[in-house]
Structure 1
């Protein structure tokens, strides 16, 4: 077969190329021809196809994502914002923290272990590429119905992949959540997040500047795994009724990644790189085009020098391969020898594959023949922009009119007791210890809070005890009922979780998981959720630093619930002042903060007891969320509370059960005036938390709440070995623990 060179492409304009098979539309292919003034070579077509895919180009979502910049709140902490591998914020004392959440949904359904493992590996390299040492990971997960046979195939593999890769890297897994819903059957959501720490002066960016500087590819050899992987796989819908492109899932090697991390950090310490990019989605196509387009010149690459695991790979396959554990660095000639020495020390393969030029083109050669000659920006950043049509779905009114508040309620204490047991033993509310125990949450010795706490928290300075906290949340049921409000509820819950642990919320990353953008109803959900999140971040003063969009999450015509997952990062000056969720001492006074209303739309109670989804989600009051956060942070810092737990899925009773079981103590509860027992226990009104206050601090705490205008009502006391809702029912901790802890092992073990 004749090599398709740039010269050959110019001489053979009518040669047919497989643009449709690579996921391009006819008008997109025409645009590529217009950019180049000729037909593309096969290698150029491969690059454009992966870089212009939905996953890499955000072609359906970027017109909505620009709101995150347009509505960004003023925030002095922001050091690096949207557009780089990950956002970076200032957390004080000269430290910067970088964090991000991304998706690996489709690969994890096809091959659960490797799909999830390489999701962890990819997000860790994004953080590493910013110049930071990765210090912790989190994993928000969504699966199909807990009792569905395929869930038993997918979930254990995903959990093993996350644990296997993260544990081998020595990174504690400190947060995330696990949700079951039939809408995710055939399309689980495997989102992965990572936090990294560095000093301000150590920030690195993805750019290739300085003519003559060398392009060095280092890490694992390039193989055939993952060719077109996530870039193509995440840009289409699964459909069992017809053949579909399902490229090979990437294969990860965590031990190689650990060497790559330590090697890269030593290279950073010696200040040997002028620019750096990890190789994730779209592989070398992404790394070379993004580095070149962000720099001040062009780039020349000798593709045949790339170290291979499979010598039969074509140039197109090498450019599209998404083999893991690879990085690309721009290095001044005077530093190349030392760079290669450090790589050899860590047993990391490193090869000079090209150099930065003083031109404006990305030029790639194969055994001396030119196979790519493109303006790099057109590959990396100038893909299509779609203004997809969107409209409110015809079924939305009927869904919202189906009010959960009209469902039959328990009649008396016995039914209340039965429904509490059903709630706390349901798959979504039950203990996830069977899952989280497979993760090492405390490796490195700096974890101070981890699952099932409200947020994960890491000490980042052992001398001053400076720390950061992170929480991820996203309720797809709420977002299905009202995507604008649902996105704000996800933000508010993550914000509240961080504040409840004593940390000050600082910034946001997100992973926006939706169905096909070609469906106007799905596109309306996306537009509304994005608008809601942008407005919410502006109100709370927490800018979006970056994130990920995952579309085409559906099987055939059935889309998942719109699932905007929001990660909030917070900072705490002294981790010793953190607030756990456990009711650890008898005699502590329990206070309910916030207003409780009859809000049951999308609630755990309506799902567990009635299998119902309808009505409106809880109302959002972001000013109240901000006030609640300030009270929780002040109370934690000043020692006014011993425990705090936000109220969200399952309402007050779920939070109290979790805090009692965590601390090994019971509680006596009294229904406040103006509330009935059912609403008191099961309402999911937002902007609320339950706190345990030492008797010695009660007056100081209530005075603070009163002075700030935050409703705070005393609802009971930590006492005994049972939860006693006075006048209604009593449940022993042993019975509650058995119900809470048996469900997940029973379904999955």
Structure 2
């Protein structure tokens, strides 16, 4: 490999802050507060080291002990996920919480790894690069497990669609997600786009990646084997991203914008593509003993985590790190979050083969250190030691906060303010107008302006993608084995009741996978909340994590990993609590998957599940009255499991022609979307109050169409699972008709649904 130019040595005028110097100058003041450390945190670092830290050590501790990297305010609550059984409905979890990503067995010798993470604040500061590098980072997490990345998803949240700042950040974020993923050749198969005023100034950019591997290809992050070489490979280290997400995501924005603006990382998807193919070949050649991607906290993270998870010792020559900017100081090199970099541990006998493979892919690789038996992470700069720390103290033994939490004073009043007193449509014409208003509202409107910027079918294995309920990719061409993935969260429900809101997020994602024909297996989560220093926010967080854990226990699926994003608020205004939940399921034969659109004339239209008068927090209450109050829909996890199990059996037996879950907007929106999909209308007749029947958001429900000759077999099967079934009509024609109430042409539905976002974006 080409030798990197050595980093610039310190000049005589620049006094290097070495470990020796730190011990000799205990009273020297360091900018620990400017780096986000609290007084007691700095004092603890001094206690750990038995002296003041060097500047380089301070840089490492500051980024690794940040909220984003250390989970210091959340880990006491995240422990409850570790109490869950790690068995999935198909078998064991191969890797779980604590690894770069969760890995689960999906049968036939295959495993799937998936994880969702946030890149929220960087995407507000620099929308394109913030979103792009969010995709790049999650892809490398998947790659580090030994898997080939096969698909991505992107749950997004923005302020009001018509807000000027939304028009600033939305196009850039969407372009960043699409540009990076498209260049990598990864299909974007799903996600959500939600608008709410609380996200104004705090857009949420969550990114999920799915990867596939054989069981024997699993790799983990550890540095074991004294004398093994530590190799840094990929892009060079630059000044972009110094502090990056580790600092930026660990502080609340002020009313005028971020109070800290470290450089947002700059992505190079073409370098990442080379890195992916190079790494997969390195795995296949058997020349990697341990591996870690460089994401948040950069080299500080990779060196300390690898050493901590291995034999505990590592020696690094920092001046051998290839740089794009030779003026960078040791502190800056350690804090830089420059993208497209990986760190591998390589046995000496494999080093030449490792370097040869990197050379074939034109990926720069440099030996920067080796594994030792000292139990210390020692980093030298031009022959002088600037870091000498216990690696676990940096990587895993950061602060643990038991933040105070309390149910907010306003919660009771919020829940008491129900929709019972709000005016409801009474006539057929009013119901028709309400349907069109909800259908054309930003949260229910067509998102094609966004999703058309993503390549959904590259690689040729995408089976389902937006706007379907779940994304499905084929992972075996011969058997048609595949996986289904969905992400969901209704922050309005979580505001009304964060315990139930997290369970409802899981339930909807679980339902989406099941309705598409996938057997749900495991969960990843991205928990987006306001400031942990606010007891009300921490109460929301505690309730949400408890709700999610309890629901997973009932459904019998593990949480395999995820991410926490705090400080999502501007001034005193926190975002809606947004616990995004991703569910992954297995599809035994993807050719039998179910799609949401009405397929033809004369099929029976069935409503599965039980409908109640549940309109608090609904899409109708938001669109018609700009109202948020009351209690969210009842959670019925047993009914959700029965519905998903039924739909898996239905898909395997070929008993349905279409299936669509009921969620935001209720039956009305599900009927409209199913009609729009292929331009096929339907006529339905609803018992009881037609308004409740159309707009209730009761859970554990689905809209299904069945050929008349299979209706009896379907209803018999549904009865065996205890799922209520009501035939409400038939498909056909060019109109959506609610008998006795109204009719609306499918063409008008489509026009209303598709117009909203392009108009707002000036398309």
* Equivalent residue for 2:196, pick from 153, 160, 181: 181
Return the TM-score normalized by structure 1: 0.99
Task: Give a deviation string over 1:429-478, Cα, whole Å, max 9, x none.
Answer: 00001100000000000000000000000000001100001000000000
The separation in 2 between residues aligned to 1:323 and 1:742, in whole angstroms, is 40
Alignment check: 8 A CA contact 1:478 1:486 kept = yes
Task: Give a deviation string over 1:473-517, Cα, whole Å, max 9, x none.
Answer: 000000000000000000000000000000100000000000000
* Equivalent residue for 2:624, pick from 609, 626, 637: 609
* Residue 247 of structure 2 corresponds to residue 246 of structure 1: no
Alignment check: 8 A CA contact 1:73 1:541 kept = no
Alignment check: 8 A CA contact 1:72 1:537 kept = no
The separation in 2 between residues aligned to 1:533 and 1:704, in whole angstroms, is 30
Alignment of 1:423-438 (within 5 A): 423-438=438-453
Secondary structure in 1 aligned to 2:191?
Answer: strand
Other-structure match for 2:8? none
Secondary structure in 2 aligned to 1:195?
Answer: strand
* Residue 566 of structure 2 corresponds to residue 554 of structure 1: no
Other-structure match for 1:44? 57
Secondary structure in 2 aligned to 1:671?
Answer: coil
Q: Alpha-carbon deviation of 1:297? A: 3.4
The separation in 2 between residues aligned to 1:615 and 1:670, in whole angstroms, is 29
Other-structure match for 1:122? 137
The separation in 1 between residues aligned to 2:714 and 2:599, in whole angstroms, is 19
* Equivalent residue for 1:535, pick from 545, 550, 570: 550
* Residue 493 of structure 2 corresponds to residue 478 of structure 1: yes
Q: 1:214 to 1:381 in 2, by over 3 A?
A: same
Q: Alpha-carbon deviation of 1:78? A: 0.8
State how many pairs are aligned.
747
Task: Give a deviation string over 1:58-79, Cα, whole Å, max 9, x none.
Answer: 0000000000011346432311
The separation in 2 between residues aligned to 1:636 and 1:448, in whole angstroms, is 14
* Residue 80 of structure 2 corresponds to residue 71 of structure 1: no
Other-structure match for 2:28? 15
Other-structure match for 1:699? 712
Alignment check: 8 A CA contact 1:457 1:469 kept = yes
The separation in 1 between residues aligned to 2:629 and 2:290, in whole angstroms, is 51
Alignment check: 8 A CA contact 1:469 1:570 kept = yes
The separation in 2 between residues aligned to 1:44 and 1:410, in whole angstroms, is 65
* Equivalent residue for 1:215, pick from 206, 220, 230: 230
* Equivalent residue for 2:243, pick from 213, 220, 228: 228
* Equivalent residue for 1:109, pick from 105, 109, 124: 124
The separation in 2 between residues aligned to 1:240 and 1:471, in whole angstroms, is 34
* Residue 731 of structure 2 corresponds to residue 710 of structure 1: no
Task: Give a deviation string over 1:658-707, Cα, whole Å, max 9, x none.
Answer: 111112100001002xx210001000001100101111110011111223
Other-structure match for 2:321? 306
Alignment check: 8 A CA contact 2:152 2:181 kept = yes
Other-structure match for 1:267? 282
* Residue 400 of structure 2 corresponds to residue 363 of structure 1: no
Secondary structure in 2 aligned to 1:9?
Answer: helix
**Structure 1 unpaired stretches of 5+:** none
Other-structure match for 2:677? 662
The separation in 1 between residues aligned to 2:470 and 2:715, in whole angstroms, is 25
Task: Give a deviation string over 1:288-333, Cα, whole Å, max 9, x none.
Answer: 0000000023000000000000000000000000000000000000
The separation in 2 between residues aligned to 1:244 and 1:554, in whole angstroms, is 12
Alignment check: 8 A CA contact 1:132 1:196 kept = yes
CA RMSD of aligned residues (A): 0.8
Alignment check: 8 A CA contact 2:594 2:657 kept = yes
Q: Alpha-carbon deviation of 1:105? A: 0.1
Other-structure match for 2:399? 384
Q: Alpha-carbon deviation of 1:252? A: 0.1
Alignment of 1:61-210 (within 5 A): 61-72=74-85, 74-75=87-88, 76-210=91-225
Task: Give a deviation string over 1:146-188, Cα, whole Å, max 9, x none.
Answer: 1101101100000000000000000000010100000000000
Secondary structure in 2 aligned to 1:77?
Answer: strand
The separation in 2 between residues aligned to 1:425 and 1:522, in whole angstroms, is 32
**Structure 2 unpaired stretches of 5+:** 1-13
Task: Give a deviation string over 1:513-563, Cα, whole Å, max 9, x none.
Answer: 000000000000000000000001111111000000000000011000000
The separation in 1 between residues aligned to 2:68 and 2:742, in whole angstroms, is 52
Alignment of 1:405-484 (within 5 A): 405-484=420-499
* Equivalent residue for 1:319, pick from 317, 323, 334: 334
The separation in 2 between residues aligned to 1:583 and 1:241, in whole angstroms, is 48
Alignment check: 8 A CA contact 1:116 1:158 kept = yes
* Equivalent residue for 1:634, pick from 642, 646, 649: 649
The separation in 2 between residues aligned to 1:688 and 1:243, in whole angstroms, is 42
The separation in 2 between residues aligned to 1:492 and 1:301, in whole angstroms, is 47
Alignment check: 8 A CA contact 2:312 2:391 kept = no
Other-structure match for 2:10? none
* Residue 41 of structure 2 corresponds to residue 28 of structure 1: yes
